[in-house]
Amino acid sequence: MKQLSVFLENEPGRLLKMTEILKKNNVNIRAITIVETESFGVARMVVDNEAAAEKALKDAGLVCQGTEVIAVEIPDIPGGLAGILKGFEEAGTNIEYMYGFMEHKTDKAIMIFRFKDNAKAKEILKTSGIKIYEKEL
């Protein structure tokens, strides 16, 4: 699965501009997180049409880059995330970053992970029987 990272100046209205571009191009944001510094922010997001989003954002002059991530389904219970993290720790696999959201139609949470070695991480997840979203959320 691909995530888009969009670099935004840390100024009022920049996030609005990005979301209006996506709206105009009929792109829906499925998950988003923002990391910021004093002068800029990075919006990391999974959308329903990555190619259309990337083209629209770049055409509008925004710096946008695609990155491979892994989205997985976890139980929405105390310890649900800990159960997945234990497998990574046991295999010595480091998580670069992650973010998540609730799937409102089910009792599951969706976590999006970035690893240095996605192939190794997928094997750990498959061995644990964790559902991996391959294309879209």
Per-chain mean pLDDT for the chain: 91
Instruction: Give alpha helix (H) positions in 25-101.
Output: 50-59, 80-91
Instruction: Tokens for 78, please give them.
Output: 């105390």
Q: Which pLDDT band holds residue 137 (cuts at 50, 70, 90)? A: low
Q: What whole-number distance in Å separates Cα of residue 131 and Cα of residue 110?
A: 10
Q: Which H or E run contains 19?
A: helix 14-24
Provide the b/e sequence for 25-35 (b: ≥16 CB within 10 Å): bebebbbbbee
Q: Which H or E run contains 121?
A: helix 118-127
Class of domain 70-133: alpha beta
- What's the pLDDT at 136? 65
Residue extents of the structural domains in the chain: 2-68, 70-133
- What's the pLDDT at 66? 94
User: Can 2-68 and 70-133 be said to share one CATH topology?
Assistant: no
Is the per-residue pLDDT at 122 higher than 80?
yes
Condensed to tens digits (0 to 9), the pLDDT of residues 71-99 reads 999 988 899 899 889 989 999 999 999 99
Global confidence as pTM:
0.84
CATH fold of the domain at 2-68: VC0802-like (3.30.2130)
